[in-house]
Amino acid sequence: MRPEILNPLFAEVEALKGIGPGLRKPLERLGLKRAVDVAFHLPSGWIDRKRVTILDQGDVGQVITIALTPVDYRQAAGRGPFRVHATDAQGNYVSLVYFGGNPGWAKKLLPLHETRTVSGKLESYGEWLQIVHPDLVLKPGEEAPAAREPVYPLSEGITSRRLSQLVEQALDRAPELPEWIEPSVLRQRGWTPWRQALAAVHADPADQKARCRLAYDEVFANQLALMLVRASTRRRKGQPLAGDGRLREALKLPYAPTGAQSRAVREIEGDLAQSTPMLRLLQGDVGSGKTLVALMSLLIAVEAGTQGALLAPTEILARQHFESLTRMLAGLPVNVAILTGREKGRSRDSTLMGLADGSIDILVGTHAIFQQSVSYRRLGLAVVDEQHRFGVAQRLMLSAKAERPPHLLVMTATPIPRTLTLTQYGEMDVSRLDEMPPGRQPIETRVISDDRLAEVVDGLGRHIAKGGQAYWVCPLVEESEKSDLAAAEERAATLQLRFGERVGLVHGRMKGPEKDSVMAAFASGRLSVLVATTVIEVGVDVPNATLMIIEHADRFGLAQLHQLRGRVGRGEGKSVCLLLRSGQLSETARSRLALMRDTNDGFRIAEEDLMLRGPGELLGTRQSGEHVFKLATAELLGELLPIASQDARLLVDRDRGLEGERGQAARLALYLFERDAGVNLLRSG
């Protein structure tokens, strides 16, 4: 339970004064649902407002705050601007300019011969000085704006000034808390207490020392939580699994495992032989052969007389794994079953019985294998694929499925920067597949303007005529008024006019059986072109598909482009990826596409993606289940992570974890930064 001292800060955002239905919606769009979210919504920049008493040509280009007295109104002919001529304390003239609309409200705001405090950007117009649409016009007695005004990330319906007022209320709810940082680190950095630092960043967004302190707090809480999860897991007794090799030796593989695959299997085998439950992350770029490593690991569990479970994030990926494992295990005495939300009736009952009596050796499934009704006779190993789709709490739920905690192997085909490997998976050992199986060729990537679409379709026709298959990826299912992106349904219809029934369509809104039918037709070669949304990002393996066309590629993140590109290049044939871009590109989009063209190295792409997007948008999309870094930027992560990790380890090893005085303060930090869920789950387990 959250400590009572933090409850005012974690109140719903409606607890702040002045928030009604109209303001709640833009706040929700910004992710600001509680007072703490508002307090941690840091300024993205600032406006320096220079306070002056006299108008000066030297201040042109700056935002000034000055007392002015309106002396005359001028309405330009036609639809021209409305001008309020005003003077400063010495009679110097400036024109306050308003475009469009009824000038009545400007006259009410700036009545003649009554002094007002005006703030806005001073400009020159011929021989005149002017301020176009002043930011602020204040009556006598109203508080003048701060010399440095924070600028916040905004949503339609809320201004930076209004948000600043809400921040002030949220900060009033933030309590003074005891210090959780190691005193020597605090002295060396010269940091103020966390609440003081939080207030300082909002008052002066340029205060880098205060920003650094807040980022450190968040990274420290993250590292401490992961270390406590690891320490708690290590204390629990698992079941050693020692396979005799009979099933692995009977496997008939199409190629000898790479050195990286063999190394990873040895590391996993060593972990499984221990009574301490394995916690290992297997990282491998697309096509590096993680499925084989997972299979070998599951076979060790089966050889040792236990069951294995392979958890996938989507039904498509679960069925892909089921088919791959069934094919690779053909002729071996290993019973593989599948369990997704689609399995119903007798089929489901039969699978549940087989798990309970131990006749099913390996279960492949989606989150359905978490459900309370699913019980295993002796679960020895759980493998979680595409780990970034699952939160820490979700992966720990598997521990409740066995008398002793099962060994856990998590895999990701999305390369993760080394910095984020530590922040997201710091409680795990890491194996890395950095070699490709023999025969895999680099994918040739080309960036093409979308005004050459007709040429691309002609090229697709030549590719099909030679017996090739291709993916065509679109970002949306249907046209919307808010977007000009090509819809998958419309693109499929257009291509069907040219290529007939050889074109299929798959997207996330289709029902499971319908989706499976289309995928099966493409895998068997009955379809030559598969038009799809990003539902094919993971779990599709068709070696004959050697052409990938991604429409509006400039709208995708780097990691997602890399995942999509990885759907081709899975056979021995030469593969090509065409990135169709729009005519107007931002510098970020241009550099992103250039990097995709220049390299197939997923780990390099991941590092660049981190720098472009920041840690809060890990892997191209906000990940469900995983906590987002709100305060720590990519640059600060690299600087602070080693120090925070050492500080957290010192607390766990020397200061009796959360029991001592600093530990009690650190407990508050865990709750403040919401890193307590995994620790609580482990303790209750």
The residues spanned by each domain of the chain are 46-149, 246-433, 444-599
Spatial separation of the C-alpha atoms in residues 559 and 328, rounded to whole Å? 29
Give residue 681's pLDDT.
Answer: 44
How does DSSP classify residue 245?
Answer: S
DSSP string, 285-328: -TTS-HHHHHHHHHHHHHHTT-EEEEE-SSHHHHHHHHHHHHHH
46-149 maps to CATH 2.40.170.20: no
Identify the CATH class of 444-599: alpha beta
* pLDDT surpasses 90 at 73: yes
Residue 619 clears pLDDT 60, i.e. is over it: no
The C-alpha atoms of residue 156 and residue 152 are separated, in whole angstroms, by: 12
Overall average pLDDT of the 597-614 stretch: 75
As a whole number of angstroms, the distance between CA 192 and CA 298 comes to 51
478: its two tokens: 């249907």
At residue 319, the pLDDT reads: 86
Measured distance CA(106)–CA(346) in Å, rounded: 74
| Per-residue confidence (pLDDT) for residue 499, from 0 to 100 | 95
Tens digits of per-residue pLDDT, 535-575? 665 456 788 999 999 998 988 878 788 888 888 887 777 89
Q: How far apart are CA 174 and CA 322, in angstroms?
A: 51
User: CA-to-CA distance for 99 and 82, rounded, in angstroms?
Assistant: 6
The pLDDT score that the predictor gives to residue 402 is 62
Helix (H) or strand (E) holding 496: helix 488-499
Tell me the pTM.
Answer: 0.64
d(CA 367, CA 339): 9
Q: What is the CATH number of domain 246-433?
A: 3.40.50.300
How confident is the model at residue 685, as a pLDDT?
A: 43
Strands 136-138 and 545-550, how do they pair?
Answer: unpaired
Do the domains 444-599 and 46-149 match in fold? Answer: no
Max mean pLDDT range (174-178, 402-406, 628-632): 174-178
What are the pLDDT digits (tens) for 27-54? 998 989 999 999 999 998 899 999 999 9
pLDDT tens-digit series, residues 344-383: 888 889 999 999 999 999 999 987 777 778 888 999 999 9
pLDDT in tens, 181-217: 999 999 999 999 999 999 999 999 999 999 999 999 9
- Is there a contact between 550 and 542 (Cβ–Cβ < 8 Å)? no
Residues pairing with 581 in the sheet: 449
Q: Is the pLDDT of residue 390 over 70?
A: no
Give the whole-number percent of the chain exceeding pLDDT 70.
87
Residues 649, 657: Cα–Cα separation, whole Å: 9
Could you identify the residue written with the tokens 């080693």?
A: 642
- The CA distance from 460 to 425, in Å, is 42
Q: How many Å from the N-terminal Cα to the C-terminal Cα in the chain?
A: 16
CB-CB contact of 434 with 259 (8 Å): no
pLDDT at 392 over 70: no
Residue 167 contacts residue 146 (beta carbons within 8 Å): no
Tokens read off for 541: 């393996």
Quick check: 484 pLDDT over 50? no
